[in-house]
Amino acid sequence: MRGRLLILALVLLAIGGFIFLRGPSPHIQIKPEVLASVGPVNITNTMVTSWVVVVVMVVFVFLMTRRWELVPRGAQNFIEAVVEAFYNVASTMVGERWARRFLPVAATIFFFILVANWLSLTPVFNVIGIVKEQVPALNGEPHEGKAFVMEKVDLGPLPIAFTTLSSPNALKGEAIELAEPGAVEEVEARRQEGKLVGEFLPFLRSMNTDVNMPLALAIAATIAVEYWGISAMGLGGYGRTFFNFSRLLRGLRALHPMTVVEGAVDAFVGFLELISHLVRIISFTFRLFGNMFAGEVVILMFTFLTPLLLTLPFYGLELFVGIVQAFIFAGLTLVFGLTAVEHMGAGAEHH
């Protein structure tokens, strides 16, 4: 009996949220929203989020480690356990020797992505921001996007705008598709009614849903991998991994056909290796960007469609996806770093 009552309550909760708590469906776009401009530099909400993530991590580490003791306890125990767990995983993947070398970069990437992914699940993301009243349809610009119809309230010196919730008569908040016929007239009518009509620009948006951030992390990881390879083998030795023409030139000088063929194969393999290193940047970028952008879209849509109950499983899924994507990015950095430095051993064995 209790189980049936619980199921009935959950169903009523989901239906109630669907009828009374829905807002207008969000406008999904890949590019981040620009909040302000400083000269030629646009300050986007994903850029602001990356600053917030850095501040949160710095403050957290400072508070957790300000009383460092030889015998750990409390918060220090937690920090050391987390770092040791990541070090043990890295040692299993690349060996203890290289784990010590790669750990600072790989761990920084892992925790930076993890904190960003999990922080983006907090309720302040994508719901608090500013309203840009200059609707494209009213300024001679192309008709695109969505204009939200909002109520205006002055809370002292602070102007507040909010979207209205749904009701049995209107199952979604008001929004105007600017590409539809009559959008200009509808916008003007709503403004005459005293409503605020415009584009909503959230202050905070998951930084990994902006392709620039995964690309920046991919470039940083690639630079670290190439540096490890160069430091292990030397610039010339590591460069021969990609530009290996010695056997080809030797065969041409000696007019030895088989040596020329083998040298051509070496040169072609080196070219493929160069291409693979460049492709890593693309795979790094779009693996993280695609997963996090898709997750944000799913949560946004379910939050606006069924605000209560049915959104929770997707939050749980995104918690799991957030740590998996962070681990994959850091793990691949470790593996590629090991591949780069292992050429040293192959070169020494060849000599």
Q: What's the pLDDT score for residue 220?
A: 95
From residue 244, how far is each of 20, 27, 239, 295, 305 by CA, in Å? 68, 51, 8, 44, 58
Rounded CA gap, 2 and 31, in Å? 48
| Burial annotation 124-145 (CB, 10 A radius, 16+ → b, else e) | ebbbebbbeeebbbbeeeeeeb
Q: What's the pLDDT score for residue 350?
A: 39
SS3 100: helix
Q: What's the pLDDT score for residue 346?
A: 43
**Contacting residues for 156 by C-beta, under 8 A, at least 6 apart:** none
User: What radius of gyration, in Å, describes the C-alpha atoms of the chain?
Assistant: 27
β-bridge mates for residue 160, sequence order = 153
Tell me the per-residue pLDDT of 21-66, one tens digit each, with 9 for 90 and over. Answer: 777 777 778 889 899 888 889 999 999 999 999 999 999 988 888 8
Q: What's the pLDDT score for residue 347?
A: 43
Question: How many CB atoms are located within 10 Å of the residue 272 CB?
Answer: 11
202, 33 Cβ separation under 8 angstroms = yes
> What's the predicted TM-score (pTM) here?
0.86
Mark the ranges of the chain whose per-residue pLDDT is less than 50.
344-351
Q: What's the pLDDT score for residue 70?
A: 75
Contacts 24+ apart (CB under 8 A), 327-332: 327/110, 328/287, 329/109, 329/110, 329/113, 329/217, 329/221, 329/284, 329/287, 329/288, 330/106, 330/107, 330/109, 330/110, 330/113, 331/93, 331/106, 332/221, 332/280, 332/284
Q: What's the pLDDT score for residue 142?
A: 53
Please report the sign of the dihedral spanned by the C-alpha atoms of residue 9, residue 15, residue 19, residue 24: positive
105, 334 Cβ separation under 8 angstroms = no
Q: What's the pLDDT score for residue 351?
A: 35
Parse the chain into domains and list their residue ranges: 47-122+208-350, 129-202
Rounded CA gap, 178 and 181, in Å? 8
Q: What's the pLDDT score for residue 301?
A: 82
